[in-house]
Amino acid sequence: MTFPISGVTVDPFVLAGIGFAVGVLGGFFGVGGGFIAGPLMFWAGVPMHFVVGTDLAHMTGKSIVAARRHRALGHVDIKLGLVMVGGTVLGVEGGARIVEMLKRIEAVETVIGVAYIVVLVIIGTFTAWESLHALRVVRRDRLDAREALAFDGIARRVRRLNLPPMVSFPASGIATVSLWAVLGVGFITGLLTGVLGVGGGFVRMPLLIYVLGVPTHVAVGTDLFEIVISAGFGTVTHALKGNVDILMALVMQTGAALGAQLGATSTRFFAGPRIRLLFSVLPFIGAALVAARLW
Amino acid sequence: MNRRRSRLIRDILLETFLYGLFVVAYTAVVLRWLDGWLTRLFHSDLIAYAAVGLVLIVAQGVVLDLLTSFLLERLGLGRPQ
């Protein structure tokens, strides 16, 4: 089928299948799944600038469904999500402008492809190493698996950073933290959203857990809430630049919405470090797909 | 415990089936009736295209989810908790 807006020919069942797979993964791990959907779309033959915009569009609707599920389970810190928005929006806009600049110099496929690989390999390696370490801590010290972290010290140091204004997030168990740390987390992930067309969850979730010290199950829900906002804003700003094929996004969303339902529900059967260990495999798969298309 | 779990799985499957029907029907309607209009909009007015696109995506996520909740409630089944 040829999608008339982008002029791209791709099997709609393949797109719906990609959507379903990333929906399950995204709902389960509390991420939008864009870092898998993007490489899969690119691999299926969609030009990179349409991958970035369309991926964000499909993620917006799907993340709303998953975020509503997590909110019902009490896993969303609304205040933390809303405070992060300022940094996120600035980052998304900055990233979208970088994509436009790369389009002008005809380097968008290569530069974004390589950026994908680098970011995914770093995140996968770090998360795998940390979750294995945390699982050893759980076994050795008999801690509650939901709260075990290998990098508890980083979060403690960030909370001691006395850079006003200071804010608190009782729903996440954060008594006081600098507003700039929260905005910084939002900006970094927003920039990735704008450049790579991902929700940024695969970076935001580790940052929420390790840097701000948010419990894993709250980080999952809050991350999805933030993805709704960042992907929604990213959709609009990329659509204005002609990078979104909304028909393609709706087909992907058909599979993704169903997958997200199943994924979000299944998180209740797994504990923190195990979720993170499973999560660590996904970035490597995404990196391999991008590398296969580039070379 | 097993009974509770099988009931939960049944509820999830039922909800997913119902929601799936709505989502597929919605996408089919948009592809069949709105593709030409959306394509023209994309080439003539990107601001309107961005707004309509966001509305279509959010409607697919939120409205159909609410419709599923409403129907499950009417059928006396409720959502899996």
pLDDT, tens only, A133-161: 777 776 666 555 444 454 566 777 777 77
How does DSSP classify residue A98?
H
Percent of chain A with pLDDT over 70: 87
For A48, A190, A198, the CA distances from A40, given in Å and listed in that order, are: 11, 21, 12
Residues in chain A closer than 8 A to B57 (CB atoms): 57-58, 60-61, 235, 246, 249-250, 253
Contact A60 B54 (CB under 8 A): yes
Closest CA to A38 of A201, A216, A209: A201
Element (H, E) at A177: strand A174-178
Q: Check pLDDT > 80 for residue A260.
A: no
Contacts for A37 with CB less than 8 Å, ≥ 6 apart: A18, A19, A22, A55, A58, A59, A252, A256
Contact A25, A267 (CB under 8 A): no
Task: Check whether B48 has a pLDDT greater than 90.
Answer: yes
Dist CA A278 CA A271 (whole Å): 11
- The tokens for A169 are 């997030």
Neighbours of A251 (CB within 10 A): 28
pLDDT number for residue A31? 62
pLDDT at residue B80, rounded to an integer: 53
Spatial neighbors of B63 by CB under 8 A, at least 6 apart, are: none
CB–CB of A235/A32 below 8 Å?
Answer: no
Is the Cβ pair A262, B12 closer than 8 Å?
yes
Determine the residue among B15, B54, B58, B68 to mutate to test chain A binding: the one whose Cβ has the most chain A Cβ atoms within 10 Å: B54
Residue A146 is predicted with a pLDDT of 47
Q: Give the integer Cα–Cα distance in Å for A142 and A283.
A: 29
Q: Measured between CB atoms, which of A63, A236, A250 is closest to B27?
A: A250
How far out from the chain centre does Cα A137 lie? 27
A47 touches chain B (CB under 8 A): no
Q: Determine which of B39, B57, B68 to mutate to test the interface with A (most A C-beta atoms within 10 Å).
A: B57
Average pLDDT over residues A5-33: 79
Q: Which of A61, A239, A247 sits opposite B35 (nearest CB)?
A: A247
Q: Which helix (DSSP H) or strand (DSSP E) does residue B48 occupy?
A: helix B46-58
With a CB cutoff of 8 Å and minimum separation 6, the contacts of A244 are A50, A53, A54, A56, A57, A235, A238, B50, B53
Interface subset of B 7-66, CB within 8 angstroms of A = 12, 15-16, 19-20, 23-24, 26-27, 30-31, 35-36, 38-39, 42, 46-47, 49-54, 56-58, 60-62, 64-65
Contact: A5, B36; criterion CB under 8 Å:
no
For A57-104, the pLDDT digits (tens) are: 888 877 777 777 777 777 788 888 888 888 888 888 888 888 888 888
Q: Complex ipTM, two decimals? A: 0.86
- Give Cβ neighbours of residue A94 (< 8 Å, ≥ 6 apart): A190, A191, A194
**Which of A21-30, A35-44, B14-23 is predicted least confidently?**
A21-30
Residues of A in contact with B28 (CB under 8 A): none
**pLDDT > 90? residue A222:** no
User: Tokens standing for A93?
Assistant: 């806009």
